Structure 1
Amino acid sequence: MYVSTNPHRRRKEPLMIGQIFAALGLVMFYIITGFGPGIIAGFLLANSIGGRDFERQHHRIEKAARQAGEHNAQWNPEHERWQR
């Protein structure tokens, strides 16, 4: 490492852009760690409050599968429709 013995040599100041990026990095870190859990908790709370009277997704899927099974069963040659 080179050390100057010249007393008039100015020390290099850190670049302003580096300080800006460091500050933005801290702000982003705060946003992610501070607001992230709050946003997730807000979504969960809104879904639990706002979705009380609505049918759940897995119930809709089960009902659709049951209806599809009934619909497809009518094309089976052993179905009562074809036994007439």
Structure 2
Amino acid sequence: WSEVLGVERIGIKDNFFELGGHSLLATQVISRSRDLFSVELSLQNLLEYPTIANLAQIIEVLTVAPGETAMTETLEDYEEGEL
């Protein structure tokens, strides 16, 4: 995100759009995520979960092999502070 947004320091709970992100920059984040993690994120994913912490959970869930379980709790549990 730092490179895409041109912001040096970003926290895992900082909101992409509050840091100056917009749909064109979001496509760059999605493309880089595809290249780095081999996952297909959507613009909707970034709109609904605009923090690094939330997207990391989505990426983990999308990259878990069949028959394995993701290490993180559900996003609902995370958002409620139940991790």
Q: Over alpha carbons, which structure has the higher Rg? A: 1
Q: TM-score, normalised by structure 2?
A: 0.25
The structure richer in helix per residue is 1
Q: TM-score, normalised by structure 1?
A: 0.25
